[in-house]
Amino acid sequence: MSLNKTHLDELLKKLTLQMPLAIIGGSLMLHYRGLIKREPNDVDVLIPNYLSITKFLERLPGVELATDLSSLSDVSTDVFGNKIQRTACMYKDIKICVFKVPAEQFLYDHEHRYAISAGHHLYIRIQRPMFAIEAKRQYVSNSKAHTPYMIKHAQDLAEIAINMGMSDPLALLEDKHSVLPF
């Protein structure tokens, strides 16, 4: 399922105007960067870990906590092995995963020019690709089964490797090819 363009435009406009610190990450960012072709299924939003989810929701009218309690909120592990909070929200038909991240990961690569209509653009902050790539690599390597979720991330990594000019499409699946500089 791809994202509804009208609803995505509305959400990104709200984020840009009401939460200018927010950073777009994950597959949407990789899609904007031309590293994957598939349409993203959700929007990953990074906020500083000092900001509460309540404050986030207060600033964005129409964005609400997801009603599916099984995916509402959990603790995830970031690419450095630190625990981070992930909260599922919804804006109309768009699933939003809000990640509260520490300062060392609250970095954006550049402001992406996003066209919302003829002659109208937004500039949104997008995450550095290496963080999303490493997160996908870790999802795949830590998966205990071949779930559709794991397979999607493995396919994304193969496509990213090809689009980055790597000769081996499976190169990003191996630890020795970690894209993070540590």
Instruction: Pull the structure tokens for residue 138.
Output: 């870790």
Q: Which residues contact 52 (CB under 8 A, 6 or more apart)?
A: none
Q: What is the pLDDT of residues 20-74, one digit of tens each?
A: 889 999 999 999 899 999 999 999 999 998 888 888 888 998 999 887 655 667 7
In a domain, residue 68? The reply is: yes
Residue 149 falls inside a structural domain: no
The β-bridge partners of 96 are: 43, 89
Establish if 61 belongs to a structural domain.
Answer: yes
Length of the chain, in residues: 182
pTM: 0.86
- Residue 84's domain is classified under what CATH number? 3.10.450
Q: How many domains does the chain have?
A: 1
Domain annotation covers residue 37:
yes
Q: Which amino acid is it at 113?
A: R
Residue numbers of the domain that contains 93: 5-128
